[in-house]
Amino acid sequence: MATDKKLVFIHIPKAAGSTLLAIIRANYSRDKSVYLSPQLTLQNFLQWETSKKKQIQVLAGHQP
């Protein structure tokens, strides 16, 4: 995938999300991926420096 492309994955329970997340983790560098959690929320991520956010290729996780 081109480096200027971004992948946003919203995990929907009971819809094969765990399988898809495993595939994403196997194919994208950990240092260019962000996995949202109770400790790292979307609001926290949005507060990161712009230059740091631009390096991210994958944003994934559960969101209400």
Query: Higher-confidence residue: 62 or 8?
Result: 8
- Interval 1-51: pLDDT, tens: 455 789 898 877 777 778 888 999 999 999 999 999 888 988 999 999 999
Residue 35 dihedral angles phi and psi, to the nearest 5°: -115, 110
* pTM as predicted: 0.77
- Distance, CA of 7 to CA of 25 (rounded, Å): 12
DSSP 3-state of 58: strand
Measured CA to CA, the distance from residue 32 to residue 22 in angstroms comes to: 15
Interacting residues of 24 by C-beta distance below 8 A, sequence separation 6+: 7, 9, 33, 58, 60
